[in-house]
Structure 1
Amino acid sequence: MSINRTIALIYSEKDDAMIDGGIKGWVTNFHKFLSTLMYQITRENPEIKLITESNFSAAELDDYFIILTVVTSNLTSNEVLIKALNAHGKKLKTQEKLVVDGVPRFFKILKRPYDPDIHLNELEDLLTYDFYLVDPLTGDPQEFTRFFGNDAERSYWMKLVDMAYDINHVLNAKEAADGSGTYATIPREKTVYLASTGVDMVIQRDIIKRELIRHGYKVLPDHSLPKESKALDRMVRDDLERCRLSIHLVGEDYGYKPRGSELSVVDIQNRVASDHTYQMVERNKEAKSDDKKPFSRLIWVSPDLKNVTERQKIFIEDLKSDAAALEEAEVLQIQLQELKRIVREELVTGGRFNNRREIRGLDEEQKDEKTKMIYLIADKRDVDEIEGIQTYLKAQGFNVVSPSYEGDLVDLRYIHQENLRRCDASIIYFGQATEDWIKTKLQDLLKAPGFGREKPLSAKAVYFMGQKDVDMEHYKKNNAMVLGNNGGTFSPEHLKPFLTKMES
């Protein structure tokens, strides 16, 4: 096969009908935008040849280095064309030339939701490029008929830019000696499993994926996920074995259920990743220091959840409970921009596995054995309200530390973990903060050994400023004392049970 830089864009003429308002067809616009992007990226004009049913020739497929196919029911109804594409894909796989440096030379483009694998079975492992919008509230798909505006910028154009860079990557990559490109040169330490998500988190996932790839990381899965649960389970496990970190983005949509399962694909990936994390912990316990393979898991829960079903609430609570039991897993409910920095920290510096750093703002006061440290945890909104508690505890001879609130998020996170590692006891202040925030801090106390803590806390408590309508059983299960909860002002008497337990 002759290697050149020619690109074929195969589509059905019916999918390029003029859009209402006299706008040129979907494919015509796609071709124009992609050609412009390719020129901006390459400073060249790689030929993108338009091919429809009327000028399609199976014999010419070998002449194209990259094939783009707009897959719709209109296209797949042409059995001759589909048969030729399958045969070509099978031949490329046999010759080990379907993939170049980790990126396939065959791009499946969807302008509306459609399952291409039923027809293009020889290419079912390849990811699709979805150029449509899904309403996160209703789940209804929306085909783009207007290519400019906020929705188009966040979805259509971001995906188009990613695709243009992938095409450029294939055009410029040097094929391996055997013709295959399998990402073999990228080590496990730079490989990340970025789990597929519900429809409302697709854009956020694309943002994280783009960030990782641009910094030289390999992102898995780099293939379409199986639609059958057992095959999905096996594939996720195989991919995780190749990764240093897994990232799971959770929003309001529980996700679709693969065949043979009552769990969604989002849920299954989380469960498999949880099992893998436990296995890696046990494996590393037995391994020599040079053979240890750190693995961690970040679960990001959107801070903007509004329309959450009861099923999804249970799923999120299960995620938090599971992560609380293992220091290598962490649930984060922060802004997406902050998540990107946490991911970078985890991969570049070792994150939670790097437990010795010099950070400005960390209280380095050396306390003797007689001076006990109490970590008073409060939300930023409650900083002024904890002054009475701080003053009283310091007057009793305790070293009282609190979280830092200003500075780099990664440093603030480390300071929090370091305080958990060093303190003798802890009080979580429940004022204006949400109960979800309080529960997250309780989980942090449970996971303190993962930050290097060597002995159990002598006491832990949640101080309620005023009565709260919450489930008290949760605090009992976490062995946390409940203080206050009977008025709106602080009294030293409220702390007496806590201090008594510390002394005992």
Structure 2
Amino acid sequence: MAVAGSILISSKILVEINNQEDLQVKYLGAFHLKNDREKRDIYAIDLPDLVVPEGHEIGGKLHPQSAYQPETLGPVVQAKDKKKDVFISYAQLDDVALTKEEDGWISVFDQALRKRTAQLLGYQPVIWKGPHEMMDKQAIGEFAKLKVMISILSPRYLESKNCLSHLKEFYSIANDKGGVRINNKWRIFKVIKTPVRPEMYPPEIEGILGYEFFEINEDGHFREFTLDKRSPNYYQFLERFEDVAQDLSQVIRSLETDNIGPQPSKDQDSSRDRKAVYLAKTTSDLNPLRDNIRRDLEMRGYRVLPEEELPLDQRFKDVVKENLSKCQLSVLLFGGKYGLVLEDEERSIPMLQYQLSIEAELPCLMWRPDDLKVEDPRQQSFLDMIDTEPPNHEITEILSDEFEDFKTHLIDTLVNLTPQTEPIVEEEQRPPRVYLIYDREDAEATAVIDDHLYNLGFEVLKPIFEGTEAELREMHKDNLRICDAALIYYGYGSEFWLNAKINDLRKAPGFGRSKPITKKAVYISGEKSRSKEVFRSRELEVIKQFDNFSGDSLSSFTDILI
């Protein structure tokens, strides 16, 4: 089997001696032993007194299968040129299966990636893989032909001098050949198989957003995602894997069209981008939903920031501020967990991003689950603060409806924030529209006001109370968008309800209005209370009428509209 004077070993032996950094080996290929259906990786020990054969020189019980040739996928068209598309870099230890019946994690990932990228691109890209610990100089020389390197990170990978050295070499080559980033996508993919401390990341990948193939439980233990239908994390693996496959295909296509070059400088990229959205870093329980939003926005052509990992040190605030300055909207998701607190900070990362968004006077769209269970009193206090002290911004909303409804509302909000590119066509002659806003319990009490306004020649818009939360909110926004005047009836509704409706009037310009609301007023009636008697405003006309309705009480409101 072996060539005279050589020593061949299997991957199992290699793992056992892998801690010997001075020991060099050469990867000869994957072979089938006779009477063994499973492929075995074979290596030759590379020492001065030993013969190091080529893969085709060994035989006997071994039947070769080329190490760096991608397996065919049937009739799929192969890549036309001889350039390498993707190299999967990993530590050999991470591809060791725990049982004889299983394939290694890297091997499963590799085979799935070949099939999925072929489906996305329409041809089979050239994907090759090899553990860095045993790569020879000839294989490393192929880095100049690479489009992308996928680094499968783990504790062993970051402990390997060879792995880190070769990562650095590819970074240098890619940087010299068109740039490490293509259209805001990195040519180095950071796939994190096993959790590692962020401070262990080498500088080449420190700022790159990673694809985490694990989740950390509340007790601090983690579970890796596997492509096994019996695993509880099977669907999470598929979702994260699909992100890798689609992003990888986009980068490959960008390089095929030569759409490469250095990224914009900070001076060039400092203005606010109408297609950029700040998607705030959230807690681990909401990461899958955040990823879902990011995928949806990117598919619709939006740029999602931050595009790099946020530094978890004193630079955090400055980096967030810089990202917010480029965006037209901040999206924040709040769950039951408080989140990580940085050193020398009292506020969590989600709370910091919320307050920095408000300070930047950026429109905010916030969401939290309707059935949210909060165990941390700090998080409950934060959520209560948002409810009771909503920011005074024309476009800031806190929603707790179904997640898919929230996504729909997010897209609608972005569309409304986009400047009109066509001139506004003058409307035909029509009666003035008054939006009469009231609580469900005041429907009967407001009937006389509705009749009075209608008899004066106004078109009266009224709220609806039947439908989903998303439908009710959308109708409310439509009425605020098209009305000429708004009259809030403050009778049965609470003080919180009144403040919420006044805030909606402030947000109305962001709902797509072409001009300001001509007249805004609060009509205070019903049972007297301390809050009603002392209420006053400089933004709205205040009409207090606790006795029976009189048309004269509305004359100052209606005269200006007629």
**What is the TM-score of this pair, normalised by structure 1?**
0.74
Shift of 1:74: 1.2
Distance 1:44 1:187, change over 3 A: farther
AA aligned to 1:257 is: V
Higher relative contact order (CA 8 A, sep 6+): 1
2:37 — aligned with what? none
Matches for 1:6-21 after TM superposition, within 5 Å? 6-19=85-98
Shift of 1:216: 1.0
Structure 2 unpaired stretches of 5+ = 1-80, 455-459, 509-515, 537-544, 555-562
AA aligned to 1:375 is: I
1:76 and 1:119 in contact (8 A); partners too = yes
2:442 and 2:491 in contact (8 A); partners too = no
1:117 and 1:123 in contact (8 A); partners too = no
- Cα distance in structure 2, aligned partners of 1:419 and 1:159: 42
AA aligned to 1:274 is: I
Which of 279, 284, 295 is the equivalent residue of 1:199? Answer: 284
Which of 116, 123, 132 is the equivalent residue of 2:205? Answer: 123
Matches for 1:5-404 after TM superposition, within 5 Å? 5-19=84-98, 22-57=101-136, 59-60=140-141, 61-90=143-172, 92-93=174-175, 97-135=179-217, 138=219, 140-145=221-226, 147-148=228-229, 152=233, 154-174=235-255, 179-181=261-263, 188-228=273-313, 230-277=314-361, 296-321=363-388, 323-350=390-417, 366=432, 374-378=436-440, 388-391=444-447, 401-403=462-464
Matched residue SS, 1:189: coil
- Cα distance in structure 1, aligned partners of 2:274 and 2:205: 29
**What is the TM-score of this pair, normalised by structure 2?**
0.67
Matched residue SS, 1:113: coil
- Cα distance in structure 2, aligned partners of 1:343 and 1:83: 44
- Cα distance in structure 2, aligned partners of 1:331 and 1:307: 17
Which of 427, 440, 445 is the equivalent residue of 2:502? Answer: 445
Q: Deviations over 1:425-469 (max 9, x none)?
A: 324756xxxx9xx946632323413324455533458999xxxxx
- Cα distance in structure 2, aligned partners of 1:155 and 1:426: 49
Matches for 1:476-487 after TM superposition, within 5 Å? 479=535
Distance 1:341 1:86, change over 3 A: same
- Deviates further, 417-426 or 253-262: 417-426
Shift of 1:274: 0.9
Task: Point out the structure with max Rg over C-alpha.
Answer: 2
Distance 1:375 1:155, change over 3 A: same
Which of 521, 525, 530 is the equivalent residue of 1:457? Answer: 521
Aligned-residue sequence identity (percent) comes to: 18
Which of 465, 478, 483 is the equivalent residue of 1:415? Answer: 478
Q: Which has the higher helix share?
A: 1
- Cα distance in structure 2, aligned partners of 1:440 and 1:203: 33
1:425 and 1:457 in contact (8 A); partners too = yes
Q: Deviations over 1:51-100 (max 9, x none)?
A: 11443346333342211111111111112321332344255446661111
- Cα distance in structure 1, aligned partners of 2:148 and 2:452: 73
Shift of 1:23: 2.5
- Cα distance in structure 2, aligned partners of 1:3 and 1:239: 39
AA aligned to 1:238 is: E
CA RMSD of aligned residues (A): 4.2
Matched residue SS, 1:123: coil
Matched residue SS, 1:37: helix
Shift of 1:224: 0.8
Matched residue SS, 1:173: helix
- Cα distance in structure 2, aligned partners of 1:453 and 1:81: 63
1:255 and 1:264 in contact (8 A); partners too = yes
Shift of 1:338: 1.5
Shift of 1:47: 2.3
- Cα distance in structure 1, aligned partners of 2:533 and 2:284: 35
2:276 and 2:328 in contact (8 A); partners too = yes
Matched residue SS, 1:188: coil
Shift of 1:133: 2.6
1:420 and 1:448 in contact (8 A); partners too = no
- Cα distance in structure 1, aligned partners of 2:329 and 2:225: 35
Distance 1:103 1:397, change over 3 A: closer
Shift of 1:134: 3.7
Distance 1:393 1:125, change over 3 A: same
- Cα distance in structure 1, aligned partners of 2:228 and 2:333: 27
- Cα distance in structure 2, aligned partners of 1:9 and 1:42: 18
Q: Deviations over 1:227-252 (max 9, x none)?
A: 11x31111111112211212111111
- Cα distance in structure 2, aligned partners of 1:324 and 1:14: 52
AA aligned to 2:310 is: L
Distance 1:67 1:478, change over 3 A: farther
Shift of 1:42: 1.3
- Cα distance in structure 2, aligned partners of 1:225 and 1:344: 25
Size of the aligned set, in residue pairs, is 441
Matched residue SS, 1:457: strand
